[in-house]
Amino acid sequence: MRILVTGGFGFIGSNLVRHLLGSDHSGSGLEIDFLVNLDKMTYAANPANLSDIADDPRHFAVEGDINDLPLVSGLLERHDIDAVFHLAAESHVDRSIDSPGDFVMTNVVGTQRLLDAASLHHQLRKTEGKSFRFIHVSTDEVYGALGPDDPAFTESSPYAPNSPYSASKAASDHFARAYHRTFGLPVVITNCSNVYGPRQFPEKLVPLMISKIRQGDTLPLYGDGLQIRDWLYVEDHCRALTRILLAGRPGEVYHIGGSAELTNLEVVRRLVDLVSDHLPDSGKRDPNPLIQFVADRPGHDRRYAINSCKIREELGWIPKETPESGFPKTVDWYFENEEWLEQVLSGAYKGERLGLRG
């Protein structure tokens, strides 16, 4: 199979590329012959995320924008792509509040142009008797907020986005669905819960807190810290996406969740304990004086939760990790890769570019 991944140098994207090229897929029916990794290389993309597979002849890295229709169309055609994993997106809610237009251009317009290129490519492949698949990766935030006793979001939950980020992702989901219904593009939409794990840019809660706890800094938490999220380890997310590629039904939506609801405050307290285990006795941290509650951000959703029964029952996927196993693995990775973290925090990682290779 020949794959195109958009946003493959970001957090989830790089873990997916690594999973596709490096995991043992024997018995699954999946064999990757070639993978095109298209990334705009914005601040959240890092060449170091895939430095250890840079010489893999199956990995073809291209610096470029999904809004560049001729570039995307050329990549699909020249490399005879069988499937697209679309992960390229602006994803940080705080940044979407500051610059909503950037999120519209990437998440909405960029997705529409990518769908245009994919639709034409699919029609050409049909004439040659070849199949095609487009996996659109989205978020649970498109559904808005849940009350404390509300059942978890299902694939039929109504959309009610509350931030510019979630609104832009909701729009991209609607375009993906419309291209399936109108043009017959074999699209599968996925909505995942809060993903964490290695190589996550330290603006998100888990890596940000790990970094600050190491340094003994205060730990800012929005509001009262009791916002609830469903936590999903990144490798479990990648396994789900691979399973959807192989067996997901075009036109369907699949929810990918960890079934692990925790408040942000609980997560931070766990991280303090785990990070402290890596520090000398003199450096042990007490979470109480470190945690600092700050003014809540506008439109902050109180609770998300994902019902992932559909993918479990239809495709046989279940998460392997829980917070009890996934958080320690994540903290261990950041301590074992301190150079990676220091380069990101200092901005030194921005010095390396890919260069366009079409």
> Which two three-digit tokens encode residue 80?
């005879």
Question: Token pair 């960890």 is at which residue?
Answer: 258
**What is the set of active-site residues?**
140-141, 165
Q: Letter for the amino acid at 212?
A: K
Helices within the chain (DSSP H only): 11-22, 69-78, 93-98, 100-103, 111-127, 164-183, 205-215, 234-247, 264-277, 287-290, 309-315, 323-336, 338-346
Buried b vs exposed e over 318-345: b needs ≥16 C-beta within 10 Å? ebebebeebbebbbebbeeeeebbebbe
SS3 per residue for 38-63:
EECCCCCCCHHHHHHHCCCCCEEEEE
Strands 133-139 and 187-192: parallel
Beta bridge partners of 39: 63
Angle, helix 338-346 to helix 323-336, in steps of 10 degrees: 80
